[in-house]
Amino acid sequence: MDNNNFYNWEEPGKDENTQPDNVPVETGKPIYTERVKKKGHALKYISFALVGAVLGSLLSTGILLGFGKTHPGGQPQVSYYSNEAADENNASTISNKGRTKLADEDVAEKVGPAVVGIINSANFFQQDVEQGSGSGIIINADGYIVTNNHVIENASSLKVILNNSEEYAAKVIGTDPQTDLAVLKIEAGKELPYATFGDSADLKAGETAIAIGNPLGTEFAGTVTKGVISALNRSVTVEGKQLTLIQTDAAINPGNSGGALVNSYGEVIGINTVKISSGDVEGLGFAIPINEAKPIIQDLMEDGYVKGRPVIGLSGREMTQEMARTYGYVTGVYVVEVTPFSGAERAGIKSGDVITKVEDQEVKTVEDINNIRDSHQVGDKLKFEIDRRGQKLTVEVELGEDKPTTSQ
């Protein structure tokens, strides 16, 4: 799946034969939301993931999952800590029952051995060259590891470095660029220490938060920093993706992507993912809540991709009023390319069309269309209203299932 394939809007190679001559070359790019600005200073969201000379910063949205066994069918079984019996008004009391808060050093001792370094290497001129490094978390004794997709993407080989400095080659089990998650596996020939995780729904602002990872690469492996849960349910848009994250002031730096955000019980409650970088801003780091990760990781472990995610089958970009006036189009979402054999192609949508409405809702951006699509399921049919150089058309697009184009 393409690195820029946000929410299943595929970004295939540009076909110059289907691009109208009077549309700018950059129409093949996805739409990115502007960086946050405040008082004239740009606040940039920076991923923590790869520390390296070749890859630039990429979006870091990681998640940690629990731990598990291999069930008779051969698939890894993931177990979750949960508080299903907890009353919402008394969740903290019930969820803490039977557990004991640990000293900070005990939290580090408990979780630290399950946090690993990941080295991403790419093949250049028949040689593997290190692109960068990130963090990951062992989630069961059999060697399954959760990390961020951007930590491992474009790799020709992956190496995992354990807490005790042992090194192993890693195999990719499944990836999901949309949530920036990936599951790896190493064959250590022995049972490995693994992390447990808590319930991010029980978190409250002001609680202790401890970050464990490899800032600035393996030289500082196993770094532990402490802060608090600063806020919950923060809506952050990074490189076109809108994420709902945990905010923390625990120090997080490049190389921490895929590392653990842990509570006082030694349970992982999030994955350190992104920070705001500015000369006058400190302590604004973010992590993806663990509860949002559970179904994604389970699908990756079992199937190598996220099941049941709908896809339309085209790439597009915003056609602003200024562009529309300049190039003689209407405002909406300009179709850059249509994926062969997709629902969009079967419906007759073509490159150069401008989508103006979906399900009778006006659309101006790719995100508008994605939001409508994500409220439906595979097999649903959506009404698209398009403008084809002045000709108004209405077509029906059946949503397909987004699957990897190649096997893992």
What pairs with residue 226 in β-bridges?
210
Residue 215 is predicted with a pLDDT of 83
Whole-number pLDDT of residue 140: 93
pTM of the predicted model as reported, rounded to 2 decimal places: 0.71
**In Å, what is the CA distance from 94 to each residue of 75, 83, 156, 220, 289?**
32, 8, 47, 37, 20
Q: Which amino acid is at 164?
A: N
The three-state (H, E, C) secondary structure of the chain, written as one string: CCCCCHHHCCCCCCCCCCCCCCCCHHHHCCCCCCCEEECCEEEEEEECCCCCCCCCCCCCCCCCCCEEEECCCCCEEEECCCCCCCCHHHHHHHHCCCCCCCCHHHHHHHHHHHEEEEEEEEEECCEEEEEEEEEEEECCCCCEEEEEHHHHCCCCEEEEECCCCCEEEEEEEEEECCCCEEEEEECCCCCCCCCCECCHHHCCCCCEEEEEECCCCHHHCCEEEEEEEEEEEEEEEECCEEEEEEEECCCCCCCCCCCEEECCCCCEEEEEEEEEEECCECCCEEEEEHHHHHHHHHHHHHHCCCCCCEECCEEEEEECHHHHHHHCCCCEEEEEEECCCCHHHHHCCCCCCEEEEECCEECCCHHHHHHHHHCCCCCCEEEEEEEECCEEEEEEEECEECCCCCCC
Q: Determine how many CB atoms are found less than 10 A away from the CB of residue 390.
A: 8
Q: Which of 63-67, 84-88, 404-408 has the lowest mean pLDDT?
A: 63-67
Tally Cβ neighbours within 10 Å of residue 281.
13
Q: Which two tokens stand for residue 292?
A: 């949002």
Q: What is the pLDDT of residues 203-258, one digit of tens each?
A: 999 999 999 998 877 778 889 999 999 999 998 876 666 778 899 999 888 788 88
Other C-beta atoms closer than 10 Å to the C-beta of 31 total 16
- With a cut of 50, say whether residue 147 has pLDDT above it: yes
Q: State the pLDDT confidence band at 326, using cuts at 50, 70 and 90.
A: very high
% residues pLDDT > 90 (the chain): 52
209: which 2 tokens?
A: 């938060």
Compute the distance between CA of residue 75 and CA of residue 333 in angstroms, rounded to an integer: 42
pLDDT mean across residues, the chain? 78
d(CA 31, CA 10): 12
Would you place residue 388 in the very low, low, confident or very high pLDDT band (cuts 50, 70, 90)? very high
pLDDT exceeds cutoff 60 at 65: no
Alpha carbon distance 124, 121 (integer Å): 9
Distance CA 102, CA 379 (A): 49
Q: How many CB atoms lie within 10 A of CB 173?
A: 19
Question: In terms of Cα–Cα distance, which of 51, 104, 117, 62 is closest to 272?
Answer: 62
The predicted pLDDT at position 277 comes to 73
Confidence tier at 44 by pLDDT (50, 70, 90):
low
**CB neighbour burial string for 195-218, b if at least 16 within 10 angstroms, e if fewer:** bbbbbbbbbeeebbbbbbbbbebb
Average the pLDDT over 104-130 and give the result: 91
Question: What is the per-residue pLDDT for 96?
Answer: 61
Q: Binning pLDDT at 50, 70 and 90, where does residue 45 land?
A: low
Q: 178 vs 55, which has greater pLDDT?
A: 178
Q: Give the pLDDT of residue 148.
A: 84
pLDDT of residue 405: 65
Least Cα distance to 269 among 154, 111, 133, 53 occurs for: 111
Q: What per-residue confidence (pLDDT) applies to 67?
A: 21
Q: Note the residue count of the chain.
A: 408
Quick one: pLDDT at residue 7?
28
* pLDDT at position 299: 93
Asked whether residue 87 carries a pLDDT value surpassing 80, the answer given is no
Would you kindly state where each structural domain of the chain is located, as residue ranges? 6-31+308-401, 32-307
Whether pLDDT at 378 is above 90: yes
Residue 312 has pLDDT above 50, yes or no: yes
List, for residues 183-204, the tens digit of each pLDDT value: 999 999 999 999 998 899 999 9
Question: Structure tokens of 79?
Answer: 């177990």
Percentage of residues of the chain with pLDDT beyond 70: 74
pLDDT at position 126 is: 78
- What's residue 240's pLDDT? 63
Query: Among 297-301, 339-343, 402-406, where is mean pLDDT lowest?
Result: 402-406
Q: Where is mean pLDDT largest: 30-39, 68-77, 381-390? A: 381-390
Query: How much is the pLDDT for 55?
Result: 31
pLDDT at residue 57 is higher than 70:
no
- Mind listing the pLDDT tens digit for each residue in 273-287? 887 877 777 788 888
CA distances from 19 to 2, 312, 336 (A): 20, 20, 7
pLDDT surpasses 50 at 19:
no
Is residue 353 pLDDT above 60, yes or no?
Answer: yes
Q: Which CATH superfamily is domain 6-31+308-401 in?
A: PDZ domain (2.30.42.10)
Give me the architecture of the 32-307 domain, per CATH. Answer: Beta Barrel (2.40)
Rounded to whole angstroms, the Cα distance separating 390 from 281 reads: 49
Annotated active-site positions, please? Answer: 150, 180, 257
Please tell me the predicted confidence (pLDDT) of residue 399.
Answer: 97
Phi and psi of 92, rounded to 5°?
-65, -40
Instruction: Quote the pLDDT of residue 257.
Output: 86
